[in-house]
Chain A
Amino acid sequence: MSDTRPRTHAVPRHAIEGMRESDDQLIGMVTALAAQLAVTRERLDTVERLAEAAGLFGPDAVDRYVPDERAQGARDTIRQTLIDRIFRPIRDAAARTARAFEEPRR
């Protein structure tokens, strides 16, 4: 019987012949990092355009800002999600290794 449960990784995933697994993971991380940087830049651009259009604040106000507890909590979530995304290849590789060790025992 096939496994049709949802999963977050595609199978099979063939090694790129001659490539070190660690290099493959590194490229994955750089790619994901670049994606997150693009998102951040785009969001910042939106904020700056909206703020300027509304006559609300300039860059100095951003520099002076100190987050309160609630804001800090939200920022923690943002940062942890970012880490989860960027370092996904490490997590995926660990899961593949774990599965490889589990399979012979089945």
Chain B
Amino acid sequence: MSHPMLPGASHDEMAEQLFVRDLKGFVAGAAEEGQRAAAAALDPGEGHNARAEEIFDRLHGLASFRNWAALRRESQELLWDVVGASVRRQAAELEARAAAAPAIGSVTVDPDFVIPSHLADHDVHLMPGGYVGDDGGVAQGALMDRGGAVYMLGRNGGLMNDRRGHTAAAHLFHRFPDFAPKRLLELGCGIGASLVPLAGYFPGAEAHGIDVGAAQLRYAHARAAHLGAAVHLRLGDALAAPFPDESFDLVFSCVTIHELQPGTIGAMMDECHRLLRPGGVVLHLEVPQRYAEMDLWGQVRGEIEARYNNEPNWKAATSADYVALLGQAGFRDIAVGYQDATDAAARGNAGFGATSKGVFRSWAVMSAIR
């Protein structure tokens, strides 16, 4: 399944994108196992107070690690290079398709919006221009969408890239089977790949999303409208959303926390509390790993991601005590665990538990009541 806004790929572009996908598979395969073995050999031991960081540092003494790390990054740079060229080829057509989208929903771009400092001139995942890049149209959103589909290697709902939204809905249905929000908000909605499916489970609800990039929002709006979803999108910071107190019945996020400024997760929980009416529900979906439970190589790989893939807050997001943070923000009935990834949420469906089934098979979820 696809949608009308997704950039296509010519014969050669598809070959390039499949090459990137398979190169990433190569880098993450036997070549990575070798790095894991090297990391174990360079381990300073449990007594070291910055064990993973020390291993990361020591690995750089090995040419085999440096070359692998360079190839790993190059696979990511190549991804954006080939997808970017494909999107630029289709730029006019994409703008025309956006203009032809049904007139439902809205996009509000506040010219005085201040981009969060950690995302300004810091391109997360090495996507040129990052979340905020803007040519005045939809190109940066198209880059994000097509690049994301290639990056996820089909593990997040294929070309729809929407499995996280269905999974978030499955968690809501598990915990609150009768919950029917009238107004819902996603913080960090990006191209709307999670907002659209989640909103689809609550017909008649007013669906809002905020993000930091105008081009992402224009693309998200056109994408949603072509799919028949009326979503209201505006530029906004997840720590200072442009809405009054108690505006929503549901506030949620999907993999936004690990892109926050380090040290601000608590502030985001406070903001969710402010935005929700009493009795409203907060839900966050994140990567399905806990730093403390990760094996040593997983922790070292986190250092590689932070340094060489511009991933700002991954360690803090996987280390945070969400029960404490949600409690401090004033929430009650807090649940933290893992939700099975799904493409179709059903009311009362289970699939929530205390253990992760692995990357792309589970997502970490934290939910509570205001």
Contacts and interface: CB of A to CB of B under 8 A. Distances in A.
A6 B19 contact: no
A10 B69 contact: no
Nearest to A32: B78
A2 B121 contact: yes
Interface residues of A, number: 32
A39 B129 contact: no
Interface stretch (B100-108, B130-138, B324-332): B130-138
Given A2-B115, A14-B307, A38 B70 contact: no
A34 B115 CA distance: 38
B124 to A, nearest CB: 9
Nearest to A36: B16
A64 interface: no
Contacts of B134: 4-6
Given A31-B71, A43-B15, A2 B120 contact: yes
A61 interface: no
Contact of A39 (B15, B23, B71, B128): B15
Contacts of B343: none
A106 interface: no
Interface in A32-64: 32, 34-35, 38-39, 42-43, 46
A46 to B, nearest CB: 7
Contact of A35 (B82, B120, B307): B82
A13 B70 CA distance: 11
A105 interface: no
A40 to B, nearest CB: 9
Given A11-B122, A28-B77, A35-B19, A4 B71 contact: no
Given A4-B132, A10-B128, A39 B84 contact: no
A3 B132 CA distance: 9
A30 to B, nearest CB: 9
A93 to B, nearest CB: 12
B127 A10 contact: yes
A6 B77 CA distance: 16
B156 interface: no
B285 to A, nearest CB: 26
Interface of A: 2-14, 16-19, 23-24, 27-28, 31-32, 34-35, 38-39, 42-43, 46, 85, 88
Interface of B: 11-12, 15-16, 18-20, 23, 57, 60-61, 66-67, 69-71, 73-75, 77-78, 80-82, 84, 115, 120-123, 126-130, 132-135, 139-140, 213-214, 307-308, 310
